[in-house]
Structure formats: C-alpha cells, structure tokens
Chain A
Amino acid sequence: MKNTAILALGVGAAMFATAAYAGTVDDIKKRGELICGVTTGLAGFAAPNDKGEWAGFDVDVCRAVAAGVLGDSMKVKFVPTTGKSRFPALQSGEVDMLARNTTWTFDRDVKLGFEFAGVNFYDGQGFMVRKDLGVKSAMELDGATVCVTTGSTTELNLGDFFRANNMKYVPVVFEKSDEIRAGYIAGRCDAYTTDRSGLAAQRSQMPNPDAHVVLPEVISKEPLGPLVRHGDNQWGDVVRWTLNVMIIAEEKGLTAANVGGMLGSTNDPEVKRLLGGEGEYGARLGLSNDWAMNIIKQVGNYGESYERNIGPNTPVKLARGVNGPWNKGGILYSPPFR
C-alpha cells in the first residue's frame, strides 16, 4: 500500500490497491500515527509555526482525532495537499482524512465517494481588492482580472457570479495559495477571490494588510469540514464525534485547563457520559473510554482552538460570527451525546 500511495494520483492507487480498506481505526492504531491531509499552508488554518510544527484551526481537528484514537495529539503525520491533489490523496488512501478548507457539496459527498464528518467552519466566498482601487462592492468588478485557485468550488462560484450579473472578468488560475498571493501582490490581478476566511488569512500574510479590503458581498455558502472515504462508517463516526466533542465541550464550558478535574466535580450527566464517567461510549467507537477527555485536555474545545488560531486576537482576526455556539447567536449545534 505504501508504494502505491506514492503514485499519489489516485489512478495508480485505484489500480493496485487491494480491496481491504475498512478498519481505518485499527490501521491507525497499528501504525501509531494518524495521516492527515492539510493545506500547503494557510495562516491560522494550517501552517508550520516558528518551531516547525504544524499548527492551526484545521490542524487542531487532526490533532483532536489523534488524541481520541491514539491518546496523543502529537502522533500525526501531516501531508500538505493542494486543491488539486487533495481528493486523489484521500481516494487512494494516502491520507486517512482531510482537514483542509474543503467545501461540503453534493458532488463531493456523493459522486467522489467521500463522507463529510461535519462542518468546522461556516464560510462564504468573497473578494479582496486593494483599497486604492476605490472599489466598494463586488458589483463594480466588471472587467476585472481575478486570481483564483484551480479545481475549487470558488472557481465555479466566480463564473456563476459574473455570469448572473452579466459582467466580464479574466480569471488567472494558480494551484497554490502562495502563488496566488504573489500574483495578487504583484498586481497580476485586481481582485483575489476565495472563502472569506482564506482572504483574511492571506491578508494577514501580506506586507501591508491594511492596504487591502474584503468586499461586503458573500457570493456563496461554503461549509468547510473534515472528510473521510466512503465505506468505513466506524472511522467516519470517530471523526464526526471528535468534532462534536469539541463543540459540546465549548457549550458545557469544558476547557483544556479544567477538564481534568471535571469528572469528579460535575453533576451534569452529559458531561459524565462525554468524559467516560458513565457508560461505554468510547468503546462503542472502538476507542478507549477517556478518548473525549484526551481530546479536550490536549487540544481544547472548539472555542479555544478558534481563539488560538483565527480569532480576533490573532493576525487572521476573524470574528466568531455564525461560527459561535447555537445558544450564543451562532449556528454550531452538536447532536446530543447520549
């Protein structure tokens, strides 16, 4: 399997891979590490930090899964994938899961043979332009040159938006976000379009972030979330409930700092179930009973991860907005843990 995975393009892998690919959880336990596909580098979401370790909001999802399955959030091998290579990488089994700004769409869920484990960021596509262009709205972009990533939903939404509004545009298409950033900074294009979170992340990496403005229009719904291959439902459940654990933890006020003592002090039955104090919930997923405890202790709850990586106090500066808990004005809502 390892050698075929190097063929990477899915073609080779689909040809040679043996049929046995159920039991991803067992594979990961045997291997001793989770192989997680992330972006090639997007500030705040997935990028190596100054110590050379991968860090970010999407990276935390991988770390949480590793904490749940292996009990150690550091046992993750990160595989950088481009918008183009991500799907073949997952289809071929080169990675166990993807956690990289991937929009949940019908085609990807149904036709490509993937299973989305949930949404970890509700996003929408927008446009960024230089302030000195004086553009106030995306409706003024007629005739503009627009930089965009290849093979993305963004590329299709861009076409739809300009067609629907009867405007013309020239796309300039790159594979990697840093190539686009370089092109945009140099002035190859007037506008840069991607998910608004991506725009914020890219702006934070620019020499003069204040010289650029994200236009108010949101032209699409982009629910971003982790995904796995079709067919191994146990593994899909593990990833789905890892994400849910982080969301529930925020709702219940469980943090990395206080979760250790919670089991003794809490009277909330849902928290007891979550942390392994009642029932055999972890075992039903094929994991240890303290799996959720490990996730929260090592990675933190959803809110902690958000504030640490992309929140208002980070260079990316994204307000919580709709990505807050349902009882605080957001739309994050996990099914009950019972």
Chain B
Amino acid sequence: MAVAEGAVRPAKASWFYDARVRAVVYQVVMAGSVVFFFAWLTNNTLANLEQRGISSGFEFLNHPAGFGITFSLIEVSEASPYKRVFLVGVLNTLFVSAIGVVLATLLGFTLGVMRLSKNFIISRLAAVYLETFRNVPLLLQMLFWYTGVMLAFPTVRDAIIISDNVYLSIRGLNYPSIVPEPGFMAIPIAFVVGIVATIIMRKLVKRRRDATGQDFPTVWVGIGLVVGLPVLAALVTGLPWSRDIPELRGFNFRGGSVVIPEFMALLLALSMYTAAFIGEIVRAGIQAVSHGQSEAAHALGVKPSTTLRLVIIPQAMRIIIPPLISQYLNLVKNSSLAPVIGYQEITHLWAGTVLNQSGQALECMAMIMATYCVISLSISGIMNWYNARVALVER
C-alpha cells in the first residue's frame, strides 16, 4: 500500500466519492426498498384481511361449487368442487383461443396475400376488411356478433334446417354427434400412422431429390395417407360408430351436440378482429423481402408458385413471426372479454362467479393472473422456438 502518497491526499481516498462503493450502496438501497415494499404489501394485506374478518387460503378449492355451467369440455355438475370449475374455465379459454388462433392465421394470411394482389377488386376488398375490423373496438364487435347476429336467429321451434339433422337456432348449432363403438380406436391409430408415414416419406423424398434431382408430389401423397388411411380403417372395421341425432323435445333439442351461440360470437369476433392485424403483418412481411430475390428466382427459371413457396415466404416468415406472437397473445387475452356475452371461460367463471360465490378475491385473482401468465409464456415459448428455426442462419 502506498501509505505515504495516500496520506498526502486523503480526500481522494474517501469512500464517499468512490464510484464503485456508491454503485454498491445504491444497489443495496434499491434492493432493500423493493424487498421492504413487498414485505410491507404482504403484511399489510394479511393484516387487513384478518382485521376485516375475511378468511384466506386455498381450502375453498375442495368445496362444492353448487352452480351449473352452460358449456364444458369435461364432465361437470353442481356437486363438482371449485377446482373442477377452474379446469373447466381454463379448458374453455384454451378451446376458444386455439380455434381462434387457427382461424385468425388462415384468414389473416389470405387477407395479407389478397391485399398484395394485382387485381384491383381483390386488393380493395381486403383493404376494406382490414380497415373495418382493425378500427372497430373488439368489445363492440363481440356485442354485434352476439346481440346482432346470434340472438337474431329464430327460436328452436322455427330452427333453420341447414342439412339433415343440423339445426341453427338462437340456442346454437345442433348437430348429430358420433358415438364410438368397439373397433373405433382403429381410426385414430390409422390417422397417426398416416402422419408418421408422411414425415418419413418427406425425409426420403428430400434425400432422393438432393441425390438425383428427381421430384415427387409429397403434398398430394401425404394428404392421401393422412386422410386415406383412416377412411380405409373405418371401412375395414365396418363403420364402428353410431350417430346421436338432435331431436326437438320439450323446450330444447335433446341429443347430439351443440355449439352455443356465445361461443360462436366470441370465436367470430376474436378471429376476425385478429385476422385483420395478421393480414397487415403478412403484407408487411412479404413486401419487406427484397424485390431482387424474386427477380433472381425468376431469372433462374423457377415457377412463380415455387418462388413464393421457397423464396419469398421463408424470408417473409422471419419478419412475420415476432409480431405474430404478439397477435396470438392478444387473442388469448382478449378472450377475457367473454363475460359481456356470457361465454364461460376462465375470467367469467373464476374472476366472476367463483370469486363472488366463495368471496376469495385475492386467491381467485392470483390464480387467474398466474393462469394467463402460464398460457401466454407457453405460447411465446413455442413461437420463439419456431422463430429460431426459421430465422436467418448466419454463417
């Protein structure tokens, strides 16, 4: 240690002016106050709850719920415990979101491509759609689809007969359901076999193409396998199912399955709204691919359809995927507007009905926030993985 030198200028050695010491102090003070804030928050909450005589804890999850639910993917009754109701809510949210994402993506990509069409009418049509659905608030669109469209359908007695045993009324879309009989399992097995066979075929075809340059109609043969095998299995096992046909008895259709109007309205609103945004994302993605790319492909004599499939789309996808993730997340979160039209997803059931019946506001809100967090993180995890795959590989 340079004792003599340091003793001459003590001021400089003062820890008070040492940038590193200061940095550490700031960090500690900051971390300390954050910890203190949350500790105070927790303590204050518990104290307030206790003082107001509000019981807390997750014990209520095992108590019977006691109320009926309009639509559920799993068996549920009034005697089911709250935790079952929670599962029903989560599944209902995932159900409408999953179908919504698929529909929105299909419609969105179609719109995005239409928007770029050289045909004036097609591109204008897409533009009008985009501007309309993008600029009207989602809540209004939901109310429109529900009160304006779904509730305007005729009563069950005057139901519209769409085709044999398929009825559309204010109570929803009633259609015959399929009841599996022995031997039915062969069909899903054949379906899985078809998918596996297609994947293997694709690899073999790619290897042969790389070696010899010979092409093979992978897509058509693949569709043939995935569709053909289950059909074959069904025929061989002698159509192992019976139909449960909806019949008008008493107040409602009995038998068969029903798509409730609340679900249809929510699905339509969510997918058509999100599709408008996806359409713009797709258009932007395609337009961002340098024109030189398609010209180069053209100069090499590649067909326009192949150019789109192998040159434009893969490059556009790199730009499309990140904002697409946000749109999927938005769709899932927007499904929480469902209570206004009476579709019982997790917000309606958990933050509405159960919160009220059990009075466990804090627990219910914590659970529902965690649920949305998990769903959203899962989606972005999957999409980020996909994004990493399609991203530009730099060498």
Enumerate chain A interface residues (CB-CB to B < 8 A).
Answer: 9-11, 14-19, 83-84, 87-88, 91, 107-108, 110-113, 133, 141-145, 150-152, 155-156, 158-160, 162-163, 169-175, 179, 182-183, 186-188, 190, 229-231
Contact of B68 with A by CB under 8 A:
yes
Distance between A313 CB and nearest chain B CB, rounded to angstroms: 34
B291 within 8 A of A: no
Given contacts A14-B45, A182-B147, contact A160 B53 (CB under 8 A): no
| B27 interface residue per 8 A CB criterion | no
Cα–Cα distance between A176 and B356 once the two chains are bound (Å): 14
B52 near A84 with CB under 8 A, answer no
Q: Which of A107, A150, A170 contacts B359 (CB 8 A)?
A: A107
CB distance from A23 to the nearest CB of B (A): 14
Contact A190 B251 (CB under 8 A): yes
Q: Is the interface of A mostly helix, strand, loop or mixed?
A: mixed
Contact (A151, B170) CB under 8 Å given A170-B252, A171-B69, A172-B70:
no
Question: Given that A88-B361, A156-B357, A173-B344 are contacting pairs, would A19 and B47 also be in contact in the complex, using a CB cutoff of 8 Å?
Answer: yes
Please state if A171 and B170 are interface contacts (CB–CB under 8 Å): no
- The number of chain B residues touching the other chain, given as a range, is 35 or more
Q: What 3 pairs across the A-B complex have the smallest Cβ distances?
A: A151-B356, A159-B78, A186-B151
CB distance from A186 to the nearest CB of B (A): 4
Q: Is B141 an interface residue (CB 8 A)?
A: no
Residue of A19, A108, A112, A182 near B151 (CB, 8 A) is: A182
14 A-B pairs besides A142-B250, A144-B251 with CB distance below 8 A are A16-B44, A18-B44, A84-B352, A91-B52, A110-B53, A144-B252, A145-B252, A155-B353, A155-B357, A158-B68, A170-B70, A173-B348, A175-B352, A182-B151
Q: List A contacts of B171 (CB < 8 A).
A: 145, 188
- Closest CB in chain B relative to A97 CB, distance in Å: 15
Tell me the minimal C-beta distance from A80 to chain B in angstroms: 16
How far apart are the CA atoms of A9 and B343 in the complex, in Å?
21
Q: Spell out B's residues near A (CB within 8 Å).
A: 41, 44-45, 47-49, 51-55, 66-70, 78-79, 147, 151-152, 155, 170-171, 249-252, 254, 261-262, 339-340, 342, 344, 348, 352-353, 355-357, 359, 361-362, 365
Return the contact of A187 from the options B66, B155, B339, B359 (Cβ within 8 A). Answer: B155
Q: How far is A44 from B269 in the complex, measured between Cα atoms in Å?
A: 36
User: B68 — which chain A residues lie within 8 A by C-beta?
Assistant: 155, 158-159, 162, 169-171
Inter-chain CA distance A169–B250, complex, in Å, is: 12
CA separation between A91 and B362, bound complex, in Å?
Answer: 12
Q: Which residues of B contact A111 (CB under 8 A)?
A: 54-55, 359
